[in-house]
Structure 1
Amino acid sequence: MKSSPTIALVGNPNAGKSSLFNQLTGLRQKTGNFPGVTMDKKSGTWPIDAQHTATVIDLPGVYSIYPKSLDEQIVTDILANPAHPDYPDVSVVVVDASNLHRNLLLFTQVADLGVPTVLALNMLDVAQQQSKVVNSVRLAMSLGVPVVRINARTGEGTDLLKKAVLGQMQEPVLPGKLFFDPVDDVPDLISDTKTQYKLTNNYLALQYIIQHDGFSFLNTPQRKVLDEIIEKHKFSEPTFQAGETITRYKRIAAIVTEVVSDQRPVNEPTWSQKLDRVLLHPVWGYAIFGFVLLLIFQAIFAWAQPFMDAIDSGVAWLNSQLKESLPAGPLTDLLTDGILAGLGGILVFIPQIAFLFLLIALLEESGYMSRVMVIMDRIMRKFGLNGRSVVPLISGVACAVPAIMATRSIGTRRDRLITILVTPLMSCSARLPIYTILIALVVPSQRVLGVFNLQGLALMGLYLLGLVSALLAAYVLKILLRTKERGYFIMELPTFKLPRWNHVGLTVWESVRSFVWEAGRVILAISIVLWVVASYGPGNDMDEAEARVKQQNPTAASDDLQDRIASERLEASYAGNFGHFIEPVIRPLGYDWKIGIALLSSFAAREVFVGTMSTIYSIGSGADEEGVTIRERLRQERNPETGGAMYTPALAWSLLIFYVFAMMCMSTLAATQRETKSWKWPAVQLVYMMALAYVTAFATYQLLK
């Protein structure tokens, strides 16, 4: 036995693999009560005994070893290739005990490939709720492999699983015969393939025949040889595969009848099925989903506001205290007006980010998110998207980068490409700081009907605008990218479960930590650069601007004079010069040179906009005021041409609409390039989204000004 054996966790989507993976390895991998969470293989270590520590690999969930998408191909590439570095010494097939009939299909295929296997019987509590009793001893005898009863959510049964895995590594126990032996139907085909590639397993030889075009470990000449074998024997892959599935299910049905006793009255629906009659209803389903969205966005404003106010005031207080206690000079200015002002502009939004991910995690954990995918599939198809596109689009509310990676579960190339191109239109968490600070400036915090907060309704409207624009863009792309490929959407609805609060808390913590860490690093770097270019200028321009202000305002009050000097020095700086350079382009949108600086800096990441504005307005006018928050600074900003408020409803809504559509995230463009393997599509994404942002922001400002 190897000193570091490899254990592969295999199973249907939502069977509990990722939960078991966390129990075995202790790694903090995110899991959810909806299919498609694990989009790539994850690995960790599992101490089996004092001498051996195994590497555990959590493979993407699949219903069959015949892949329908890129993520499913990972599973077949590993299990069909003994030379693969991740080829398992033992595969643990995790099955849902409440639905053995479907889950055992994958098990029989993995076992037939000759991989030593342990069957982990999970979700026995769900089976019990459905009045189903599974005889695991009889099941082990019928299958010819060890069967272990586990609870992946609580860790129950993992010690028995460890013993079973250790036994399979030391003395592998395989089923007495294949559950489906292709040599019974096509003996010559299997014989030629085994001889050509020196194979010993009949079912593996069949996979070489059927899946050779998708196997990454076969080169072009090897695939051509397999094509010749297929042509020689006039082999029909679809017909044979369909016959194989029927044969397997017949044998599985006999096993399930023998080992499962169902004590439910005939045709009595479960409580999950009763709920689904309402949640999946063609009318009430959408009404309930709309109400859930409304609650989420109301909660983001109502619940998070006290925490945001506390952080905002705390950062402003700390800034003023540092200015009073530290000696005046460039380093103090860099720390307070540069670094702290920039970071404070993002830290204030931690409560809203936390509440957003908390509520999304509850929907995932409970199982409701799967119902959302089903009802949204009805809409998606009208716009040319695959039902599986719902997963990336919903994930895009958190971050577009993993959402784009999640498109690997989409089977057809056109549907996958369209989903990648429109996913960034979904409002991600990086836009939330921009939305909330601008909405707070122009939308009154008052209630409608005594329940709904106007600011929450405005926020929900922006998210819905992103969704509608994504659907319309998909419809246009469907027309432009014509193809004969047909999409499909197959998904099993999980039963409703109580949220696991440790998983919910972990999700919120990881999301907030990632947001602060990723955004914080970028903002820290940009804040330092921005402070430098805003504090220094070409030649003596800044000194001359200060002298000019003093000469023009000899009788001005001290505070007013300092504000004017700070503003003129900023305008004469390198940052001010560049802002004035791009101002003619953005002036039709209502933006001035200060906003232009923030727009440019936010190309690195959208959330940098708020941090940049914090730095700009700390360096500019009002810098000497103690305890002034960024929202107050924006509210106090004056329009030099009109003398009125700079952030009018027309300007604020123009900015809001601009950021709904603007592709201002380099990481998203990089993810698009990586997934499409071409720079053409990131370029298309950048051009069409920026054009859409500019045109709609222009129209918004001109209509409202």
Structure 2
Amino acid sequence: MKSENIKIALVGNPNAGKSTLFNALTGLRQKTGNFPGVTVEKKSGTYNLKGSGNQLIREVTLVDLPGTYSIYPKSKDETVVMDILANPKHPDFPSVIIVVADASNLQRNLLLFTEINDLGIPAVLALNMLDVASSMNLTVNAVQLAMQLKVPVVRINARTGEGIVNLNDAVSQVLDQKFKPALTYFYEPTENEGKLIEEVKSYYHLDNDYVALQYVCQHDNFSFLEQPARVKLDGLIEKYGFDENHFLATETIARYEKIKPIVSKAVKSEGGIEPPYWTRKLDAILLHPFWGYVTFIFVLLVIFQAIFAWASYPMDLIDAGTAATIEWVKGILPEGVLNDLITDGILAGIGGIIIFIPQIAILFGLVAILEESGYMARVMVIMDKLMRKFGLNGRSVVPLISGVACAVPAIMTTRSISSRYERLITILVTPLMSCSARLPIFAILIALVVPSTKVFGILNMQGLVLLGLYFLGLVGALLSAWLLSLFLKRTEPSYFMLEVPTYKLPRWGHVGFTMYESVKSFVFEAGKIIMAISIILWVLASYGPGDKMEAAAAQAQQQMAQKPQEQIDAAIASARLENSYAGSFGRFIEPAIRPLGYDWKIGIALLASFAAREVFVGTMATIYSISGDTEDVLTVKQRLIQEKNPETGGPMYTPAVCYSLLIFYVFAMMCMSTIAVVYRETHGWKWPMIQLAYLTVLAYVSAFAVYQLMS
């Protein structure tokens, strides 16, 4: 049975297991985007609502709303929750809400539930993390809780899938109105508030008192209200002398007064309540002012060692397989333009990307394990004190660490930072964290100049250099943040509050899904760009203005007449490339990049990689395939090793050139997508242009210094 566009919303506190439940219910049937009208990331998926006999009842859409402690927002992400729940005309307005609550901290979690309940939208309460509650000597009686709250209450384990069938039944009963809860309001308005509510309900045609109160309190956050409606509400607030701050304080106290006796009846404690044993033992180390930092550095070291040590064998197989595929395609297709386009253009470019799938998968998999285990929250806590010295706070760690994956979603996560000042600085410095798109560049250049020898018998030199590059990006981000904090004026106080979750074993299915999604996104999103750029590059490198290419080819053949045929073919191919449209453009910008040690071929790759950093390696593979320096089909690494400097006759990719390129890509602005998201998040071109300018200058000056010192 189809859903008829039935929407089910997931709502819950951060770290309550809401996203884990979302993944368990939807599996691979997910999609991401933005909520209509805003730039907040939206996760939705198809949810097969099954009954007790595992029989499909209906297919619905599950929408994962941003995590929040209350319906009163503290960040941009949280404003989405009420912008949807207060507007029945919103495309994501739910028929039923599943409120996911952490059973180990029920009193705090029920605050959000009571607010949702008072909005009048049918709800089901899903009690998660009961195993954690049990480890804290807590027993939660779901039946008693349901009797008091007058809504279905279901015991679940989002990580293992336990209780999902019962959750399906409860949602189905509410959808089919077989369960009709007697609406119990947890907040009773005062007499003066009641008069204000009636006028708001009458003017806006509302039928719920609490929704009317939210119009009063949050109308500035509601995107669906026009300016005249907001002005009208401001007038009503003034007419009735409504004090929002006093109301919020009074409402919260009133709710907790009703929640406490409910929790005391439903939750029984057997002995003292304290964090689980292993949580206390591990936190003594991981939150220690010294050992916490040491542990964090060690974890990063393990990650970057793994990227090289574990990925080298599958990467070699993929690289050799790509070269063999290109050779095979060259052999079966007739010689000509189509053969050259497919092999030297498309396949050479794509081959420069898929080789890095193992490294990307390992990076994302290990980061997912850190997040799933609860360790990432500890990193935020220990880093808060350090971050404040640079004008940031602990929440800035999430965007910075996320920037190791991709700057675009990382910059979007800055919405959780309540201070506009700290949010802006975090946005401006996040691109300095080396994203996964830079990993292919780092990997190929490090492999050229850094031996894979062991240090102290266990540490791989290449992994240490990679860690050093990421650490350099972090240092650059912190120093840039400090400099920016000297010029930007702070207009509001800063605070950092975070719930530290208990430690949990990673949900391996979720980790695997994260790896799959990240690799798929990397390959297919990058693949689109690479294919387009590879085709454009092939055209630009295969054709030139007038008859320059033919003349250059004839001259090269004449000069090399006495040489072996292989050298003549290579000289002709190089002459044609140099006089093509791509070569002409590369020659045009060469004077600007020559002080950095780069030639015109590298210049072409630098500009192409502005579309996406991972394009750099694919571009080099395409260019060197076309240049025809050998008649054999070689891997990307072999092509770079064999490239010669026409002026010196020695290798083009010397340590000076490679380290200059590495430093350039550590500091350079990531890509066009990053500029676009910064424009969207800052609502103008001012800050993206400032960001592009200072990062370009920093990258150029740093690369220049490195090349000149090493030459």
Find the counterpart in structure 2 of residue 310 from structure 1: 317
Letter in 2 for 1:509: Y
Q: Which moved more, 1:636-645 or 1:453-462?
A: 636-645
Residue of structure 1 equivalent to 2:37: none
Aligned: 1:699 with 2:705: yes
Equivalent residue number for residue 412 of structure 2: 405
Structure 2 residue matching 1:645: 3-state secondary structure: coil
Deviation at 1:192, TM superposition (A): 4.1
Deviations 1:381-426 (A, max 9, x none): 2211243222222111111111122222222333222222222211
CA distance in 2, matches of 1:314, 1:468: 38
- Cα separation, 2, equivalents of 1:24 and 1:311: 34
Map of 1:154-233 to 2, 5 A cutoff?
154-169=160-175, 170=177, 173-174=180-181, 177-183=184-190, 186-233=193-240
Q: Who is 1:20 aligned against?
A: 21
Q: What is the rounded CA distance, in whole Å, between the counterparts of 2:194 and 2:527 in structure 1?
A: 63
Residue type of the alignment partner of 2:20: S
Instruction: Label 1:389 to 1:664 Cα distance change in 2 as closer, same or farther (>3 A).
Output: closer
Using the alignment, how far apart are the partners of 1:631 and 1:293 within structure 2? 26
Give 1:34's aligned residue.
none
Counting matched residue pairs gives 698
1:513-566 per-residue CA deviation (whole Å, 9 max, x = no partner) reads: 111111122111211221222122222222222222233233222322322222
TM-score normalized by the length of structure 2: 0.93
Is the Cα contact below 8 Å between 1:69 and 1:409 reproduced in 2? Answer: yes
State which of 101, 105, 110 in structure 1 corresponds to 2:107: 101
- The aligned residue for residue 386 of structure 2 is 379
Contact 1:117 1:174 survives alignment (8 Å): no
CA distance in 1, matches of 2:426, 2:181: 42
Q: Which residue does 1:147 correspond to in 2? A: 153
Matched, 1:388 2:395: yes
Alignment match, 1:111? 117
SS of 2:638 mapped into structure 1: helix
Cα 1:187–1:539, aligned 2, differ >3 Å: closer, same or farther? closer
Structure 1 residue 603: deviation in Å? 1.6
Please report the TM-score for the alignment, with normalisation by the length of structure 1: 0.94
Deviation at 1:52, TM superposition (A): 4.6
How large is the RMSD of aligned CA atoms in angstroms? 2.3
Whether 2:434 is the aligned partner of 1:427: answer: yes
8 Å Cα contact 2:350-2:527 kept in structure 1: yes
Distance change >3 Å, CA 583–CA 452, structure 1 → 2: same
- Deviations, residues 611-662 of structure 1 (Å, cap 9, x unaligned): 1111111121423124x22212212222222222211111111111111121
- 1:4 Cα deviation (Å)? 4.6
* 2:126 maps to 1:120: yes
Range moving further from structure 2, 291-300 or 337-346: 337-346
Aligned-pair distance for 1:29? 4.8
Give yes or no for contact 2:668–2:696 (8 Å, CA) kept in 1.
yes
Counterpart in the other structure of 2:136 = 130
Deviation, structure 1 residue 323: 3.3
| Mapped contact 1:39–1:408 kept (Cα < 8 A) | no
Question: What secondary structure sits across from 2:42 in the alignment?
Answer: coil
SS in structure 1 at match of 2:255: helix
Task: Judge conservation of contact 1:617–1:623 (CA < 8 Å) in 2.
Answer: no
Q: Which shows bigger deviation, 476-485 or 134-143?
A: 476-485
Q: Identify the range of structure 1 (428-437 vs 75-84) with the bigger mean alpha-carbon deviation.
A: 75-84
Residue 693 (structure 2) pairs with residue 687 (structure 1): yes
The separation in 2 between residues aligned to 1:184 and 1:285, in whole angstroms, is 53
TM-aligned CA deviation for residue 284 of structure 1: 0.6
Pair 1:44 & 2:50 matched: no
Q: How many Å separate the matches in 1 of 2:216 and 2:455?
A: 65
Amino acid corresponding to residue 457 of structure 1 in structure 2:
L
Query: Quick one: which amino acid aligns to residue 692 of structure 1?
Result: L
Alignment of 1:507-522 (within 5 A): 507-522=514-529
Are the equivalent residues in 2 in contact too, given 1:397–1:426 (CA < 8 A)? yes
Structure 1 residue matching 2:124: 3-state secondary structure: strand
The Cα of 1:176 is off from its aligned counterpart by 5.4
Give, in angstroms, the shift of residue 593 of structure 1.
Answer: 0.7
Contact 2:590 / 2:599 at 8 angstroms: preserved in 1?
Answer: yes
Structural mapping, 1:77-88, within 5 Å: 77-88=83-94
Tell me the equivalent position of 1:526. 533
1:219–1:528: structure 2 CA closer, same or farther, 3 Å change rule? Answer: closer
Quote how far apart the aligned CAs of 1:198 are.
4.2
For residues 290 and 608 of structure 1, what CA distance do their matches in structure 2 show?
30
CA spacing shift, 1:254–1:525, aligned 2, 3 Å: same
Q: 1:618 to 1:25 in 2, by over 3 A?
A: closer
Residue 99 of structure 2 aligns to a residue in which SS?
Answer: strand
Find the partner of 2:666 among 660, 664, 668: 660
Quote the Cα distance in structure 1 between the aligned partners of 2:542 and 2:234: 69
- What runs of 5+ residues in structure 1 fail to find an aligned partner? 32-37
1:8 touches 1:88 (CA, 8 Å); kept in 2?
A: yes
Aligned twin of 1:350: 357
Counterpart position of 1:9 = 10
Structure 1 range deviating more: 530-539 or 303-312: 530-539
Q: Is the 8 A contact 2:557 2:571 kept in 1?
A: no
2:80 partner letter:
I
Contact 2:31 2:44 in 1 (8 A): no
Q: How does 1:246-257 map to 2 (within 5 A)?
A: 246-257=253-264
Whether the aligned pair in 1 keeps the contact of 2:138 and 2:273 (CA below 8 Å) is no
CA offset at residue 43 of structure 1? 4.6
- Letter in structure 2 aligned against 1:506: F
The answer as to whether partners of 2:30 and 2:43 remain within 8 angstroms in 1 is no
Of 158-167 and 111-120, more deviation after overlay is shown by 158-167
Give secondary structure in 2 for the equivalent of 1:261: strand
1:462-481 residue pairs with structure 2 within 5 A?
A: 462-481=469-488
- Kindly indicate whether residue 544 of structure 2 is the aligned counterpart of residue 502 of structure 1: no
Larger mean Cα displacement after TM superposition, 491-500 or 592-601: 491-500
Change (3 A) 1:184 1:276: farther
Distance (whole Å) between structure 1 residues aligned to residue 30 and residue 390 of structure 2: 34
What is residue 676 of structure 1 aligned with on the other side? 682
Q: Is the 2:405–2:435 Cα contact (8 Å) retained in structure 1? A: yes
Conserved 8 A contact 1:438-1:656: yes
Which residue does the alignment assign to 1:569?
576
C-alpha distance in 2, partners of 1:319/1:168? Answer: 58
Instruction: Tell me whether 673-682 or 581-590 shows the greater mean CA deviation.
Output: 673-682
How much has 1:290 moved relative to structure 2?
Answer: 0.2
1:99-127 Cα shifts (integer Å, max 9, x gaps):
10110010011111222222111121221
Task: Tell me if structure 2 keeps the 8 A contact 1:39–1:409.
Answer: no
User: Is the CA contact 2:602–2:620 (under 8 Å) kept in the aligned structure 1?
Assistant: yes
**Does the 8 Å CA contact 1:419/1:474 hold for their aligned counterparts?**
yes
Aligned-residue identity in percent: 63
Match of 2:252 among 221, 242, 245: 245
Q: How far, CA to CA, are the matches of 2:372 and 2:304 in structure 1?
A: 19
Q: Is the 8 A contact 1:111 1:174 kept in 2?
A: no
- Single out whichever of 56-65 and 316-325 deviates more from structure 2: 316-325
SS of the residue 1:383 aligns to: coil
Match of 1:35 in 2: none
Counterpart of 1:70 (choices 67, 76, 80) is 76
Give the 3 Å change call, closer, same or farther, for CA 55–645 of structure 1 in structure 2.
Answer: closer
**CA–CA separation in structure 1 for the residues paired with 2:581 and 2:387:** 48
1:590-609 superposed matches below 5 A? 590-609=597-616
- The one-letter code matched in structure 1 to 2:49 is P
Q: Which moved more, 1:184-193 or 1:66-75?
A: 184-193
What corresponds to 1:301 in structure 2? 308
Q: CA deviation at 1:350?
A: 1.3
CA distance in 2, matches of 1:200, 1:314: 66
